[in-house]
Amino acid sequence: TLMQALAFYWGCFRPPFRALTLAHTSESTTEIGRIAQDFLLALPPVLADLAPRPLRGGLTWPSGSSLRVATQRSSDVARGSSPSMILFSELGFWEKGRANSSPEDTLQAALAAMAKAPGTVAVIESTANGATGAFANRWNRAQLPGSQWVPLFFPWHTSDQDQYNPPMSPEDEDIFEKM
């Protein structure tokens, strides 16, 4: 959601900005597209002149900016475009449902399509899915000195929305404290 918000903001204020999000499933593609639509619906009236128009698979701005969301099933998904920003969503789960290319093929092809200009950004985000595969390989290489990637780790259990603290009796609290 944070990266979609950034893409939406840059679409409004840094034209012609072209963002591409590659999701791991068609269901996620639809959901990420809805997030972009939610930003459009929440745009204050004072910014109506900057408002994008809904487009199948994303949004397009009168200024030439675009935000497109697609499913990663083919290495051709970014062909013919020059995105300023690419978000590779849930790369650790791209292995499933592949036809003729590997996740690494799609990743490389999309990065090759990316605009070669200042202000471009590529983000790979994923839940880990084992110690092998395109995401694990990229993560491991990002930790090496001299990498052009910056590895960031945000564990789910530190998020307040993922915490549940049930009410406890004084006796339960005492037991819990002793553990």
Q: Which residue ranges in the chain fall short of pLDDT 70?
A: 96-99, 162-164, 179
Inter-residue contact 67 to 59 (CB < 8 Å): yes
- pLDDT tens-digit map of 126-139: 988 888 888 999 99
Helix (H) or strand (E) holding 160, with range, is none
Residue 106 CB contacts under 8 Å (≥ 6 apart), including other chains: 22, 72, 74, 75, 77, 94
Handedness of CA 35, 38, 40, 43 (dihedral sign): negative
Instruction: Please state, for a pLDDT cut of 70, what percent of the chain lies above it.
Output: 96
- pLDDT tens-digit map of 52-80: 998 888 899 999 999 999 988 777 888 87
The per-residue pLDDT of the chain, averaged, comes to 87
Model's pTM, two decimal places?
0.83
| pLDDT score, position 6 | 94
